[in-house]
Amino acid sequence: MNEMNEFFIKTEDLYASYEEDDGKRVQVLCGISLGIKKGEYVAVLGHNGSGKSTFAKLLNMIHMPDSGKIYIDGVDITSDEMTERDIYDIRRKVGMVFQNPDNQLVATIVEEDVAFGPENLGIPSDEIRKRVDEALQIVGMTEYARHEPHRLSGGQKQRVAIAGIIAMMPDCMIFDESTAMLDPIGRREVMETIDMLRREKGITVINITHHMNEAVRADRVIVLNDGKVYMDGTPEEIFGEPYKLELAGLEVPQCTALIQELRRKGYKITGECTTPEKCAALLANFIGGGANG
């Protein structure tokens, strides 16, 4: 029981498959066992078809696994005793933001869209009002409350989508390639919102992404390959093994690659780096040190 409380999400030997249009079954997950702690910030990496999206959809009961167990907040969601109410409760706890911002906004006005989730949960009107105002304020979209979604930029739409989840008061948020369709400005807006949610609301964050620069912001990186957990560790540990990553069809962040390349050329730079800032500091330190010596 103790262990269950420690992990907000826990999966045991998870197998999942889906049926393609031509009726062929594709095995996407082959025995995933992992635990994610409350308040943890996890990035999930993997090339296309590595099963990362399917994994996310298992966590809020959009898909069901073929076998294996999933515990969310200590509740076994694969059990047959889950009632409809329980399912809504899981979906409330584990919110999900998708890739295309256009295809997840339902209402014709921003604040009505944010209210959509709480309305479905049957929350009283004045309470919804309060939550919507708060959620819009958190993502910094208060001034757009009465706007029509189609007039917003991609990043703003995605922030509205995030507000729509926040208004349901989730414990965990999954971002399923939520920045993939955004321009660099939109991407930064969304990443900053995620960091802030994590910091101020203590929400468990799972960010499924292609971008290594996003993955380095997390506490922990999980690399999926061929339906299995291929690597699992801190960003420094993961990006410290570029060859192993390459085998999974992934690259290390450019700054990490730079330091590794320099090291191979014989420069004795010590320390690990995953962000441009850290990289600059390492190099400055090395050059400074070199000059002194």
Partner 1 sequence: MKNISLGQYYPGNSAVHRADPRMKLIFSFLYIICSFLCSNILSFVLLLFSAVLLIFVSRIPMGLIMRSIKPILFILAFTVVINIFWTSGETVLFEWRFIHIYLEGVMNAIFIVLRIFVLIVGASLFLTYTTTPIALTDAIEQLFAPLKKIKIPVHEFAMMMTIALRFIPTLIDETDKIMSAQKARGADFTSGSLIKRAKALIPILIPLFVSSFRRADELATAMECRCYHGGEGRTRMSILHYRASDFVWLFIMIAFGASIIALNILSIGYSM
**Binder of partner 1 out of 58, 77, 105, 255 (CB under 8 A):** 105
CA-based nearest residue to 41, from 212, 194, 160? 194
**Binder of partner 1 out of 104, 158, 204, 260 (CB under 8 A):** 104
Site residues for partner 1, 125-144, by CB under 8 A, read 125, 128-129, 132
Which are the contacts of 156, defined by CB distance < 8 A and separation ≥ 6?
141, 144, 186, 189
Q: What are phi and psi of 35, to 5 degrees?
A: -130, 140
Site residues for partner 1, 78-97, by CB under 8 A, read 84, 88, 91-92, 95-96
**Nearer residue to partner 1 within complex by CB, 118 or 186:** 118
Number of residues binding to partner 1, judged by CB under 8 A = 42
Site residues for partner 1, 52-81, by CB under 8 A, read 57, 60, 62
Burial class (CB in 10 A: 0-12, 13-18, 19+), 206: buried
**Nearer residue to partner 1 within complex by CB, 136 or 250:** 136
**Nearer residue to partner 1 within complex by CB, 88 or 286:** 88
Site residues for partner 1, 144-183, by CB under 8 A, read 148-151, 164-165, 168
The DSSP 8-state label assigned to residue 65 in this structure reads -
Tell me how long the chain is.
293
Helix (H), strand (E) at residue 180: none
CA quadruple 89, 90, 91, 92: dihedral, nearest 10:
50
Which residues form the interface with partner 1 (CB under 8 A)? 57, 60, 62, 84, 88, 91-92, 95-96, 98, 100, 102-109, 111-112, 115-125, 128-129, 132, 148-151, 164-165, 168
